[in-house]
């Protein structure tokens, strides 16, 4: 009999972790071996448990899932990581895949896809939700926002005026205006509110954290 696929579950919602654990225990070839509620804890649990596969949420307080993926891949370059997220944004997906994730699934399709995706990734293949693949293809040739542009957008989402953003990031007011103009062009929007909405939908920012 083949060894069980040992899975580490990372999500900041206990009910999600419990639901996934129950689902995995019902599979003949899988075993949940540990849980973590944030990115930093995920890295420590990975170091401690050496799971065969890690299920990783993206949007978590503190260290994000993408940062945790990068840290885990430093510990183990061959680590197999499958992202589970509520957010279909292409920017988050692209960052996670660049960081080393082998799969990216939406939680709303979890029961239908999760166990098959775990098996595929454990076998060395990739698994990406159709909705995510569509978003990645749609924006494949878009200009990517820079880290500074994202930092400015986060402050815009928090209600900061340009002068306050300039002071917060140690930039000139003219620089902030120029950066926002570039952001509007990249996102295809014409005002701050629409920029925040589109950036949140695509996963560049999370205004709820």
Q: pLDDT tens digit string along 11-21?
A: 999 999 999 99
Alpha-carbon distances of 169 from 129, 143, 144, 163, 175, rounded to whole Å? 37, 23, 20, 10, 11
- Pick the more confident residue, 179 or 205: 179
pLDDT digits (tens, 9 = 90+) for 82-136: 999 887 788 889 989 999 999 999 887 666 789 999 999 999 999 998 888 988 8
Percentage of the chain lying above the pLDDT 90 cut: 74
Query: Which of 18, 12, 21 is closest to 118 using CA atoms?
Result: 21
Query: Which of 70, 59, 68, 69 is closest to 13 using CA atoms?
Result: 59
CB 141 within 8 A of CB 50: no
Q: Where in the chain is the domain with CATH 3.40.50.2300?
A: 5-138
Is domain 147-202 annotated with CATH 2.60.40.1260? no
Report the chain's mean pLDDT, rounded to a whole number.
92
pTM of the model: 0.80
Q: Where in the chain is the domain with CATH 1.10.10.10?
A: 147-202
Structure tokens at 120: 């595929």
pLDDT digits (tens, 9 = 90+) for 159-185: 999 999 999 999 999 999 999 999 999
Confidence band, pLDDT 50/70/90 cuts, at residue 138: confident
Reply yes or no on whether the pLDDT at 38 is more than 80. yes
Q: Strand order of the sheet with strand 30-36?
A: 30-36, 5-10, 53-56, 81-85, 103-106, 127-128
For the domain bounded by 5-138, which CATH number is listed?
A: 3.40.50.2300
């Amino acid at each position: 009999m083949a060894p069980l696929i040992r899975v580490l579950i990372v999500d900041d919602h206990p009910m999600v972790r419990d639901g996934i654990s129950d689902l995995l225990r019902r599979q003949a070839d899988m075993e949940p071996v540990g849980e973590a509620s944030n990115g930093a804890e995920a890295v420590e649990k990975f170091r401690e448990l050496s799971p065969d596969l890690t299920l990783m949420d993206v949007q978590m307080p503190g260290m994000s899932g993408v940062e945790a993926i990068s840290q885990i891949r430093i510990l183990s370059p061959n680590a197999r990581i499958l992202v589970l997220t509520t957010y279909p944004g292409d920017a988050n997906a692209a960052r996670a895949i660049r960081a080393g994730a082998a799969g990216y699934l939406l939680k709303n399709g979890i029961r239908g896809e999760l166990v098959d995706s775990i098996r595929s990734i454990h076998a060395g293949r990739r698994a990406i939700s159709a909705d995510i693949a569509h978003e990645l293809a749609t924006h494949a040739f878009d200009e990517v926002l820079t880290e500074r542009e994202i930092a400015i957008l986060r402050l815009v989402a928090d209600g900061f005026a340009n002068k306050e953003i300039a002071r917060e990031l140690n930039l000139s007011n003219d620089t902030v205006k120029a950066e926002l103009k570039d952001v509007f062009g990249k996102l295809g929007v014409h005002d701050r509110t629409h920029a925040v909405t589109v950036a949140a939908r695509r996963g560049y920012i999370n205004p709820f954290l």
